[in-house]
Chain A
Amino acid sequence: MQPDGTPPILELRNFSHTYLEGTPRASEAVRDVSFRIQRGERVGIVGATQSGKSTVVDSFAHLLRLKPGQVFYEGEDVAAPRHDRGRLRREVGIVFQQPDSQIIEDVVGADVAFGPTAAGLSAPETRSRVEESLNTLGLPYPDYRLRYVHALSGGQRRRVAIAGVLAMHTPVLVLDEPMAGLDPRGRRELLELLIKLQRDRELTLIVCSTSLTDASLLCDRFIVIDRGTVVMDGPVREVLREADRLAELDITLPEPVVGAREMQKLFPEFPTELLTEEELESELLKRLGAA
């Protein structure tokens, strides 16, 4: 509960999931994962590959066979028999790791319009949402509206996939490895866009990644998952303070943190909870001045 008594927007309580449970090919993905995400939070879910991040993401929109009493949206059990799955999926927007899998229509405009249309919006409203989303993602509406999706580049298809989810105006936006396969410029643009979107629309933003590089600039809080369980959960700087442990978990550290770990060879007390190169520089200058 928040101080004003509203329940957290998303909550997992001892969430466990085994794929193909009860068959000889059963494989346990996550075990006893619990956390709460409040409205408007910016959370990074971090872990090495196979750690269970994607399973956690899929649970948010009830895309798995869930057991009751484990996943809650706005305080309601999403696995309860009468829970409205359609509404849940209109409120929790997910951009998957492979953008191709979630592109439904062949033409860019039609694909972005898919969600709003399915949600029952009028044609003019759908159109304005498509225009807004495509423009936001740097795919000018008049140029891209009629383009054939499969003829676009990987980075462009990722943007189309994101536009398709943005057009739904979901209060929760979940991105699974959003930066994978993007060049440095694409990453920077997407990062800026996400920060702006989150601020303007008061989104609850959840980013999944094996790397803290972009997530540390985008999120306020990290939940670190290792082999299906939560091993750390706290504000970004607090988590970065334990840089050695993160490195042991095969998580890619942000460059300032990598630099800080090198500096620890010279200055054992050098802090690792640094977000930008400027912070690294000022810490270094402080120490050099003292020496």
Chain B
Amino acid sequence: MLELQRNVIFGQFVETGSFIHRMDARVKIAITCLFIVALFLIDSFVGFAVVFPLLIVVGIVSRIPIGFVLRGSQIFLAFLVFILFFQVLFYPADVPESGYLWRWGILSVSTTGLFTAGILGLRVICLYYVTTMLMLTTSLVDLTNGLELIFGPLQRLKIPVNELVLVFVIAIKFVPIFIEEMERLARAQTARGVPFDEGGAIKRARRIGRLLVPIFISGFARADTLTIAMNTRSYRGGRYRTKFRQMSAKLSDWLVLVLVTAWLIAAWLA
């Protein structure tokens, strides 16, 4: 609890200056979208086996230590295991009688249930990994600009792209800020005798409840400050805003896009 930022890395940006960090944000976002589509299409363990080496390559090229990513995902993974456990137990009963390994009332363990949960688990882990990598390797400014440029054409349909992107990016980037805030609160409350760093899992979880009210209050205060700050600097979204940073995709960006697309199609067909 004293260093919660170790355990939740969602939304953090880690500069390593790698090839992936230097790639055009639009290409990175496009690749992430390709991954998301592909991961929903892939429906077999073989398919995931083909995708897996690609994810490892991404991890190595990004130069972000895998231990850091794993430790930062442990809360998420624990939560996933918890959900999958119930997914298996309550799997709908359209299973042939021979498929059951164990059954008690509405609870059961079937081969189909295990298979579905396995695929679902892999899918969620891969989705989480790909989006986390996008955020770990792309700064807030690049992410916002990239998304605005990609979805820019939708403005012709009177969709407020700038505002939507801004809300999305703020939501994501507030996660690390809130984690830091929680850390600070936990530290101050520990000093007053709430031992966040002692006791079992349930006791610790109950103590976290004490942080919720102050977190909410500071969250609203922060949002309020942000709004005022944006207003005083005359922020105004919309298609007539120009960009200070111009993005340009290099040949290598396009090559990576083609390569990843080919790889993902191969995984889908496998």
Contacts and interface: CB of A to CB of B under 8 A. Distances in A.
B260 interface: no
Interface string A32-58: 000000000000000000000000001
A20 B3 contact: yes
A169 B43 CA distance: 64
Contacts of A94: 188, 191
B6 A96 contact: no
B14 A100 contact: no
A25 interface: yes
A101 B185 CA distance: 5
Chain A's interface size range is: 20 to 34
Interface in B43-71: 64-65, 68, 71
Given A65-B3, A101-B184, A24 B191 contact: no
B165 to A, nearest CB: 26
Contact of A24 (B65, B193, B217): B65
Given A89-B193, A102-B189, A150-B217, A63 B2 contact: yes
A118 B195 CA distance: 10
Contacts of A164: 192
B107 to A, nearest CB: 41
Contact of A115 (B3, B71, B184, B192): B192
B171 interface: no
B12 A86 contact: no
Given A25-B5, A101-B185, A96 B195 contact: no
B270 interface: no
Interface centre among A65, A94, A101 (most CB of B within 10 A): A101
A165 interface: yes
Contacts of A64: 2
B192 A24 contact: no
A58 B214 CA distance: 20
Contacts of B224: none
A19 B5 CA distance: 10
Given A20-B3, A24-B65, A118 B189 contact: no
A72 interface: no
B191 A103 contact: no
Contacts of B218: 100
Contacts of A101: 184-185, 187-189, 214
Contact of A102 (B5, B64, B192): B192
B1 to A, nearest CB: 10
A104 B12 CA distance: 28
A259 B3 CA distance: 44
Interface string A91-106: 0111010101111101
Given A24-B68, A85-B198, A150-B217, A104 B16 contact: no
A168 B192 CA distance: 9
Contacts of B214: 100-101, 103
A152 interface: no
Contact of A65 (B2, B64, B68): B2
A257 B192 CA distance: 37
Nearest to A117: B193
A130 B111 CA distance: 62
B14 A25 contact: yes
A171 B229 CA distance: 43
B177 to A, nearest CB: 14
Contact of B68 (A23, A86, A96): A23
A86 B195 contact: yes
A118 B3 contact: no
A23 B6 contact: yes
B14 A85 contact: no
Contacts of B193: 86, 89-90, 114-115, 118-119, 168
A61 interface: yes
14 contacts: A25-B12, A94-B188, A98-B184, A98-B188, A101-B187, A102-B188, A102-B191, A104-B210, A114-B193, A115-B192, A118-B192, A118-B193, A119-B193, A168-B192
Interface of B: 2-3, 5-6, 12, 14, 16, 64-65, 68, 71, 184-185, 187-195, 197-198, 210, 213-214, 217-218
Given A24-B65, A101-B189, 15 more contacts: A23-B71, A24-B64, A25-B5, A61-B191, A86-B195, A89-B193, A98-B184, A100-B214, A101-B184, A101-B188, A102-B191, A104-B189, A104-B210, A118-B194, A168-B192
3 shortest interchain CB distances as A-B pairs: A102-B188, A118-B193, A101-B188
